[in-house]
Amino acid sequence: MSKLVILVSGGGSNLQSILDAVATGKIQAQVAAVIADRDCYGLERARKAGVPAYLIDRKLHRSDLSEEIAKLIPFDCDLIVLAGFLSILNVKFIQKWPNKIINIHPSLLPKHGGAGMWGLKVHQSALDAGDNESGCTVHYVSEEIDGGAIIAQHAVAIAADDSAESLQQKVLHFEHQLLVAVIAKLLA
């Protein structure tokens, strides 16, 4: 059975879509751990699903966050999923698992990515640019923030009356589907 580790920082709706897909067999894997860098609802979702949940507080581990997280990841982990994880992992961490760390980002990268681009800021950036579509991207994690090889994208039309909040909700719906589909494919 493949082993997944999921890193979260927030509400964990993408995590929930993975947990649900594991429960129904759409993703054939065991979630070995959910790790958060701050106290968040994602940890609660993991506990409710009976998955080991760990908090490595980014404020207490400013210099060794990546090392402390790495200690919790089984040596035979098949895939590490950043599902709304907002801390930056260091080079040593990224190089330890080549092509085994993926991230979901709420835009059509390379648009609206990079340092500081997360949450509503991403969607506001798409609106400010006058884009007529946005979407979501799953990509491999490299040393460049949001710059790793793109695995899959899903486009979403932007309506004239969209706000950052409404666009976020539209995109999130497709994030859940895209992330599950990519994980299932990568583990198959």
| Active site residue ranges | 105
Tokens matching residue 21? 């897909």
User: Which residue lies nearer to ligand GAR by CB, 36 or 70?
Assistant: 36
φ/ψ bin of 109: left (φ > 0), alpha (ψ from -120 to 50), beta (otherwise):
beta
Q: Min. distance of Cβ 76 from ligand GAR in angstroms? A: 26
Question: Which residue is closest to ligand GAR by CB?
Answer: 84
Smallest Cα–Cα separation from 109: which of 173, 159, 163, 178?
Answer: 178
User: Which residue lies nearer to ligand GAR by CB, 11 or 30?
Assistant: 11
User: Which residue lies nearer to ligand GAR by CB, 6 or 70?
Assistant: 6
User: Which residue lies nearer to ligand GAR by CB, 12 or 148?
Assistant: 12
Q: Min. distance of Cβ 81 from ligand GAR in angstroms? A: 10
Q: Min. distance of Cβ 159 from ligand GAR in angstroms? A: 19
Residue 20: Cβ-neighbour burial (10 angstroms; 0-12, 13-18, 19+): middle
Q: What angle do CA 101, 108, 163 make, to 5 degrees?
A: 120
Q: Which residue has the tokens 């106290």?
A: 39
Helices 13-24, 41-48: inter-axial angle, 10-degree rounding: 10
Interface ranges with ligand GAR (CB under 6 A): 8, 10-14, 42, 83-84, 104-106, 118-119, 122, 172, 175
Q: For 97, list phi and psi in degrees, rounded to 5.
A: -125, 70
Query: For the sheet containing 101-105, what is the strand order?
Result: 53-55, 29-36, 2-8, 79-82, 101-105, 133-140, 150-157
Q: Min. distance of Cβ 151 from ligand GAR in angstroms? A: 14
